[in-house]
Chain A
Amino acid sequence: MEKRVTFNERWLPYLLVAPQILITLIFFFWPSGEMIWQSLILEDAFGGNTRFVWFDNFIHLFNDPAYFASARLTLVFSALVAAVGLAISLLLAVMADRVIRGATVYKAFLVWPYAVAPAVAAVLWGFLFNPSVGIVAWLLQGIGIEFNFVSNGNQAFLLIVIAAVWNQLSYNFLFFLAGLQSIPRSLIEAAAIDGAGPAKRFWDIIFPLLSPTGFFLLVVNIIYAFFGTFGIVDALTKGGPAKATEILVFKVVNDGFRGQDLGGSSAQSAILMVVVILLTVVQFRFIERRVHY
């Protein structure tokens, strides 16, 4: 889409785009280029000698079982976060949409978790499940479940899933509610007159009409689980115990900064970049066909 009427100025437009372009060049293209360069070279510990090694860093990475473990963990993590998050928020949105009188009030009570930083959300959940003072851990102990996410890897993983779902819930809820409210009432009324009960109406009318929103949210949630959850892992488990919660984005930062493995970390970044590009393309292709609300 283009404007028919424009201004004629020679230098002004360059001046106007300059701040954003400069910042993008310095803080986006320069580091990104450096990252790709570093993924192809090998640097000795003192940064003196560098050698161009083509794809050695990638080959090294693909032969590293720890990398595969982390990749698998990330896939399970993002699938769980997306599935559980979407299911709960869809349920809440459908129920809130049913009760017309309460919907706006409930919305006010459900939107705020979005504003809580992932790292702070992690601290809140870590407190609830803390082995020595956490109220939920204490209750679980009361029914015979020993919950200690500091030493038990599966429980630590469960906890980061819970914190991530909680943090993203309001986002999903808002989009589902908007999607539900854009479905024409006449369709649902017509189905009701034809004798379709609430469950049938949901599965045969509401659910299919909501699927674009659902698909969009699925992509957003996967992107969130892949890249937005660093704070949760870092504040809650630091990837532990025994790497049970070391998802890819945490591993990139950890290997690059704490492990000083620049080549390996850059190769991981490059792979993640491909993942984001694919997800963004999927998201954009889809948005073209998306219903506007």
Chain B
Amino acid sequence: MVENRPFLTVLSHLVVILGVLVIAFPVWMTFVASTHDQQTMLRAPIPLLPGPHLIDNYMRVLTEGFGTKFGDNPLARTLFNSLVMALGVAIGKIAISIIAAFAIVYFRFPLRLTFFWAIFVTLMLPVEVRIVPTYGVVANLGMLDSYGGLIIPVIASATATFLFRQFFLSVPDELTEAARVDGASPMRFFWDILLPMSRTSIAALFVIQFIYGWNQYLWPLLITTKESFYTVVMAVSRQANVVDATPSWNLLMAMAMLAMLPPVAVVIFMQRQFVRGLVETEK
């Protein structure tokens, strides 16, 4: 810092530490609740420190599912669905966006700008707003209760295409010229030069889109009616709405922990890519 003010430095630390604690508190309580048995979680005050039932609760939720209504649907299956959706959304978005951006930047062809603007306007209408007609379209196409229905309608997005377009525009023209002089075809240039150069952008985008896909809520809620296609976020929410009737807070909180763990782990272990992705997708 500019000058030495011990009091301010201590105050800064205190404020940030307090902030960290307050922000972490709900997750701590969730974790604590997921390690006790049902009886302990029935009456206030509930304990503030973990109990001995961690493995019991998590195993039960993962293999047997939850309560009576969820009984025949183990959470392991639900977590798998979320993983499929998150990976599908992340990989699908990156794949269709990077080739579309390649076409728009590296070729001149009729309708190029029309396509560009068609992609651009998708920014204008979040899926929550056009949800009812989109549901109708997906139902007409017979895509309810399918992985395709979960993934494909949410992968059309402008942000990824813009990110790649921005990046391609910054790639030196000399590389393209060299490739052309050497007689490389456009696709060869794409695979051997452009794609390897885009690695960091792809990684950054992957982190953001994985979280986006994993955390989808409204869309899976609408188009899945079979429990075998439920995603974990909607399973947690559904169960939370009946928890007062069948109070197994310990199991609900174990489910919530499992729903949070994968995306939070991705953010923590890929923090650099995450921050980069956040900042870049907003450009």
- Say yes or no for B129: interface residue by CB 8 A criterion: yes
A9, B237: Cβ atoms closer than 8 Å: no
Q: Please name the residue on chain B nearest to A138 by beta carbon.
A: B44
B49: interface (CB < 8 Å) = no
Kindly identify which residue among A31, A118, A120, A228 contacts B256, using a CB–CB cutoff of 8 Å: A120
Please report the C-alpha to C-alpha distance between residue A108 and residue B97 in the assembled complex, in whole angstroms.
30
Complex Cα distance, B23 from A114, in Å, reads 11
Closest A residue to B19 by CB, please name it: A92
- CB B215 to nearest CB in A, in angstroms, measures 4
CB of A13 within 8 A of CB of B107, answer: yes
**A16: Cβ under 8 A from any B Cβ:** yes
Q: In the complex, what residues of B have CB within 8 A of residue A249's CB?
A: 128-129
Residues of B near A189 (CB, < 8 A) are: 2
**In the complex, B122 has a CB within 8 A of chain A:** yes
Point out the residues of chain A lying under 8 angstroms from B260, CB to CB.
115-117, 120
B173 and A21 contacting across the interface, CB-CB below 8 Å? no
CA distance A121 to B236 in the complex (A): 11
B126 at interface by CB-CB < 8 Å: yes
Q: B residues within 8 A CB of A174? A: 275, 278-279
B44 to chain A, nearest CB (A): 4
Instruction: Tell me the nearest residue of chain B to A199, going by C-beta.
Output: B8
A265 within 8 Å of B by Cβ?
Answer: yes
Contact A24 B20 (CB under 8 A): no
- In the assembled complex, which residues on chain B have CB atoms less than 8 Å from the CB atom of A59? none
Q: Which residue on A lies nearest to B152, using beta carbons?
A: A23
- Is A149 part of the binding interface, using a Cβ–Cβ cutoff of 8 Å? no
Whether B44 pairs with A166 at a CB distance below 8 angstroms is no
Whether B237 lies near A231 (C-beta < 8 A) is yes
- Please state if A31 and B130 are interface contacts (CB–CB under 8 Å): yes
Total interface residues in chain A, CB < 8 Å: 105
A162 to B46, CA, bound (A): 22
A232 to B217: give the CA distance in the assembly, Å.
10
Q: Which of A49-57, A66-74, A77-85, A94-102 contacts B (4 or more CB under 8 A)?
A: A94-102
Q: Tell me the dominant secondary structure on chain B's binding face.
A: helix
Assess the A7–B106 pair: CB atoms within 8 A. Answer: yes
* Complex interface: chain A residues within 8 A of B124 (CB): 273, 276-277, 280
On chain B, the residues within 8 Å of A99 by CB distance are 9, 12-13, 16
Please tell me if A203 contacts chain B, counting CB pairs below 8 Å.
no
Closest to B21 in A: A109
The reply to whether B131 and A256 contact each other, CB–CB distance below 8 Å, is yes
A126 at interface by CB-CB < 8 Å: yes
Restricting to A14-49, which residues have a CB under 8 Å from any CB of B?
14, 16-17, 19-21, 23-32, 34-35, 38
A102 lies within 8 A of B44 (CB)? no
Return 24 A-B CB contacts under 8 Å, by A number. Answer: A3-B169, A7-B189, A9-B107, A13-B103, A13-B107, A20-B99, A27-B153, A28-B125, A28-B156, A30-B133, A32-B125, A32-B130, A91-B15, A98-B8, A109-B20, A116-B27, A124-B26, A138-B46, A230-B128, A230-B217, A231-B237, A253-B132, A256-B132, A280-B123
| 10 A-B pairs with least C-beta separation | A117-B215, A31-B133, A16-B103, A256-B132, A115-B263, A13-B107, A235-B237, A34-B133, A231-B217, A124-B26
Binding site for A on B (CB under 8 A): 1-3, 5, 8-9, 11-13, 15-16, 19-20, 23-27, 29-30, 33, 41-46, 48, 95-97, 99-100, 102-109, 112, 115, 118-119, 122-126, 128-138, 141, 152-153, 155-156, 161, 168-169, 173, 176-177, 180, 186-187, 189, 211, 214-215, 217-218, 221-222, 233-234, 236-237, 240-241, 244, 247, 249, 252-253, 256, 259-260, 263-264, 266-268, 271, 274-275, 278-279, 282-283
